[in-house]
Amino acid sequence: MCKNLNLLTANTILNGKNKWYLIASILFLLGCQPSSNKNSFNPKSSVIPMPTLLEKKEEFFEAKFLNTKDDFKIREFELFKKQLKNYFPKKTIFSKSTSSKNFEIKIDETIDEDASFYELSIGQEFIVVKGGKKGVFYGLQTLFQLIVLNYDSISNSIRLPCLEIKDQNSFEHRGFLMDCCRHFFPLKTIKKYIDLLAIYKMNVLHWHLTEDQGWRIEIDKYPKLNTVGSWREDSTGKYGGFYTKKEIREIVKYAKERYIEVIPEIELPGHSQAAIASYPFLSCESKQIQVANSWGVFKDIYCAGNDSVFIFLEDIFQEITELFPSNRIHIGGDEAPKFRWENCEKCQKRMAQENLKDEHELQSYFIERIAKDLEKKNKSIIGWDEIIESKINSDVTIQSWRGFSGGIQAVKEGKKTIMSPTSHCYFDYDINSIDLEKVYTFNPIPSEIDSLESELIIGGECNLWSERIPSEKELDRKTFPRLLAMSEVLWTYRKDKFENFQNRVEDHYPVLSRLDVDYGIESSPVRLSSKINNRKIKAVVNSKIKNLEFTYQWNNEEAKPIKKNGEIEIPKSGKLTLQAYKNGKKYGDQKVEKFAVHLGLNSNIDYQYMYSLSYQAEGLSSLINGRLGSLDFKDGQWQGFSGKNLDVILSLDSLTSINKVSMNFYQYINSWIVVPSYISIMSSKDSLNWEIIKSVDSIGEIRKRGKFISSISFDSLETDAKYLKIFAKNYGKLPSWHEAAGAESWLFIDEIIVE
């Protein structure tokens, strides 16, 4: 966090009392009638991210042109002019006419060039932007927003609320990860995003350039990385591409002019299948493999026992460091299955020679060796939180993605940290799991961190992994409006009320449209909660979005209207379909949810092993709430256990005659979710004496690809019980043929249906 905030002690909006209407009325009475549009002028100060200090006055500035008289010979001003020209192609914003000057940029030489601090003062007759060069750049971005939010296109005049802003960043690292590997984006898209990042005061483009599915950067010394590694064969034919060195330089320069640092990510030792497909000697087995054409984690990774691999990587980093002026390089380090290393003579020999106790230490050896090479090249490294699973001595920055815990550990070890937990920062996730409000509640500084340690948390990033982002349109829908929340969290930190923020976001939609952003929705339009009473379920329709109407349809019956907070009785097992409407038009996708009405609803449940905090669904009520998980395993109903068995006891209200027990398991082998290998149910009348009533060995087909739900049902039980013990054995480590062989598998279950 920035330490100089003593300058700006409060994050306050001092709204002047709105006397404009009073002034307008007086002018009217004096016979000096303002034009009707003036009457309705309600100046907006909805800047995002909200400035640290903003004092709004009741007066306003109005002029036909920003009259600069003499030009300011600085790039920041040229860019600002270009921005306005692009936004208002048919209008003239600047003039050098003889009329008096009304706009001034003051570069304060006493302010550090790298300081983001700026002051913006808008008076009735005059606008001043003041700061160091960088500060002036940010001040002009704020002014850009104010101009586009308030421009009066009827009178063709620039109207602005009078105000005083003093502003500076809270976090120094405000990042956006763009994955150009899973899907390849043209330079035009990258430049559009750099422009957008600048407007919203983000300052890091984390450019993910190498992956299993494609190597995306030109390398002279190893041309096959581009002739082979940049292309994959998939159902659409040959897919891929790479950025030439000239293009990379162009992007780096374009970004730098907008105060955005481009940090390349060159993944190692995992996520390297495209490199291995180009040069098979890089892997433990040295076998020819293909550039990956599916999504997941792959077990063929760089061999840690072969010195040629390190020579290759040192050569790569030589070319990379010549292209990127940033003093930081991201080296990945995430999701590297250790299976090949465990079975490789060279890797095992390295471990013996270096006295490394396991493959995690071998990974640290790998990272340290790369860090040392990069240190010689005057670069420090950033790596995902896996790189501190084993001790690492080099000066590394940790990017925490598997929750906050990796970041907390890193900070406790004195390492700089960037927070980007999947819970708040993965914008590739569906809006159902991370909506605008969720992003707005993101606090990069967890409560476990004291104020001194918090200095090590340099900021956060939102990540746009592109497996399911094949186009710029989808990138827009996933990024916006969530990026606005991230920008405010990272720039302003001490935040506005969400409702106020939401109102400001509303003001930005027309701006985003004009900036060619095909933004998505703020949250899923329909949410359901449920109540259970006397084994009867009532579904309740909720929404965080204002002014929507809804319909619901039970099974194939006719759709009926329902209001927000309306309740729907679920009479028996079946399917409910909901649709939201805005102004009579469908808003968002249908929501379909299946229900099971059964004897176990709301029974008591005890867990031998707790579910994972990342997949807790609805917690203790989740498996007995009558709501069934869908094919989206992040829908909030599926409960997940990593490497652990499901072992629960259901206590029913009373001794019950039970005929059937069924349950749903999920399999999506690419995400390591596998149906259990063994399931049993036991029953008891008193919770002391148990009898196994049924068991089944190995269900489902472990090799089956895709996402599917496997329902297992134990019929004809004819038992009287008050207690049921359900045991489902986790598959265990992923088998050798799996791309991520050796990793812990997940068991996902939803609902234990008792009939």
* Interface residues toward ligand ACM, by CB under 6 A: 334-335, 384, 401
In whole angstroms, the minimum distance from the beta carbon of 333 to ligand ACM comes to 9
In whole angstroms, the minimum distance from the beta carbon of 457 to ligand ACM comes to 18
CB neighbours of 547 closer than 8 A, spacing ≥ 6?
Answer: 582
> Residues of 545-574 as b/e, b for ≥16 C-beta within 10 angstroms?
beebbbbbbbeeeeeeebebeeebebeebe
- Binding partner selected for residue 550 from ligand ACM, Zn ion, none, CB under the kind-specific 5 to 8 Å limit: none
Q: Which 8-state DSSP code applies to residue 626?
A: S
The full length of the chain comes to 755
In whole angstroms, the minimum distance from the beta carbon of 357 to Zn ion comes to 17
> Of 384 and 714, which has the nearer Cβ to ligand ACM?
384
In whole angstroms, the minimum distance from the beta carbon of 95 to ligand ACM comes to 50
Q: Which 8-state DSSP code applies to residue 152?
A: B
Look up tokens 């969720």; give the residue.
438
> Of 145 and 400, which has the nearer Cβ to ligand ACM?
400
In whole angstroms, the minimum distance from the beta carbon of 450 to Zn ion comes to 42
CB neighbours of 332 closer than 8 A, spacing ≥ 6?
Answer: 265, 266, 267, 268, 270, 271, 383, 384
- Binding partner selected for residue 384 from Zn ion, ligand ACM, none, CB under the kind-specific 5 to 8 Å limit: ligand ACM
> Of 331 and 344, which has the nearer Cβ to Zn ion?
344
> Residues of 263-299 as b/e, b for ≥16 C-beta within 10 angstroms?
bbbbbbbbbbbbbbbbbeebbbeeeeeebbeeebbbb
In whole angstroms, the minimum distance from the beta carbon of 295 to ligand ACM comes to 11
- Binding partner selected for residue 347 from ligand ACM, Zn ion, none, CB under the kind-specific 5 to 8 Å limit: Zn ion
> Of 149 and 344, which has the nearer Cβ to Zn ion?
344
In whole angstroms, the minimum distance from the beta carbon of 746 to ligand ACM comes to 15
In whole angstroms, the minimum distance from the beta carbon of 640 to ligand ACM comes to 17
The distance of Cα 345 from the centroid of its chain, to the nearest Å, equals 39
Of the candidates 39, 16, 263, the residue with the CA atom closest to the CA atom of residue 162: 16
Give 158's strand partners.
63
In whole angstroms, the minimum distance from the beta carbon of 290 to Zn ion comes to 20
- Binding partner selected for residue 401 from ligand ACM, Zn ion, none, CB under the kind-specific 5 to 8 Å limit: ligand ACM
- Binding partner selected for residue 588 from Zn ion, ligand ACM, none, CB under the kind-specific 5 to 8 Å limit: none
- Binding partner selected for residue 660 from ligand ACM, Zn ion, none, CB under the kind-specific 5 to 8 Å limit: none
Tokens of 710: 């496997």
Burial tier of 650 (Cβ tally within 10 Å: 0-12, 13-18, 19+): buried
> Of 249 and 346, which has the nearer Cβ to Zn ion?
346
> What is the gyration radius of the CA atoms in the chain, in angstroms?
29
In whole angstroms, the minimum distance from the beta carbon of 407 to ligand ACM comes to 13
Residue showing the smallest CB distance to ligand ACM in the complex: 334
> Of 182 and 591, which has the nearer Cβ to ligand ACM?
182
Torsion of CA 562, 566, 567, 568, to 10 degrees: 10
Q: Given the rule CB under 5 A, which residues bind Zn ion? A: 284, 303, 305, 344, 346-347
Q: Reduce the DSSP state of residue 655 to 3 states and report it.
A: strand
Contact 636, 618 (CB under 8 A): yes
- Binding partner selected for residue 344 from ligand ACM, Zn ion, none, CB under the kind-specific 5 to 8 Å limit: Zn ion
Contact 566, 536 (CB under 8 A): no
Give the count of alpha carbons within 13 A of 600, CB side only.
29
> Of 314 and 334, which has the nearer Cβ to ligand ACM?
334
- Binding partner selected for residue 305 from Zn ion, ligand ACM, none, CB under the kind-specific 5 to 8 Å limit: Zn ion
In whole angstroms, the minimum distance from the beta carbon of 378 to ligand ACM comes to 26
CB neighbours of 70 closer than 8 A, spacing ≥ 6?
Answer: 96
Maximum Cα–Cα distance across the chain: 98
> Of 151 and 465, which has the nearer Cβ to ligand ACM?
465
Contact 362, 343 (CB under 8 A): no
Of the candidates 543, 517, 506, 575, the residue with the CA atom closest to the CA atom of residue 432: 543
In whole angstroms, the minimum distance from the beta carbon of 271 to Zn ion comes to 16
- Binding partner selected for residue 284 from ligand ACM, Zn ion, none, CB under the kind-specific 5 to 8 Å limit: Zn ion
Contact 60, 41 (CB under 8 A): yes
Contact 340, 742 (CB under 8 A): no
- Binding partner selected for residue 483 from Zn ion, ligand ACM, none, CB under the kind-specific 5 to 8 Å limit: none
Contact 457, 417 (CB under 8 A): yes
- Binding partner selected for residue 334 from ligand ACM, Zn ion, none, CB under the kind-specific 5 to 8 Å limit: ligand ACM
- Binding partner selected for residue 335 from ligand ACM, Zn ion, none, CB under the kind-specific 5 to 8 Å limit: ligand ACM
Give 580's strand partners.
550, 587
Tokens of 281: 């000697």
> Of 341 and 384, which has the nearer Cβ to ligand ACM?
384
- Binding partner selected for residue 408 from ligand ACM, Zn ion, none, CB under the kind-specific 5 to 8 Å limit: none
In whole angstroms, the minimum distance from the beta carbon of 481 to Zn ion comes to 46
In whole angstroms, the minimum distance from the beta carbon of 352 to Zn ion comes to 13
Contact 186, 193 (CB under 8 A): no
- Binding partner selected for residue 212 from ligand ACM, Zn ion, none, CB under the kind-specific 5 to 8 Å limit: none
- Alpha-carbon distance of 243 to 240, in angstroms, equals 11
> Of 79 and 274, which has the nearer Cβ to ligand ACM?
274
> Of 570 and 669, which has the nearer Cβ to ligand ACM?
669
> Of 384 and 554, which has the nearer Cβ to ligand ACM?
384
DSSP E strands, 37-184 = 53-63, 66-67, 94-95, 103-107, 118-122, 127-131, 158-167, 173-179
> Of 332 and 588, which has the nearer Cβ to ligand ACM?
332
> Of 270 and 520, which has the nearer Cβ to ligand ACM?
270
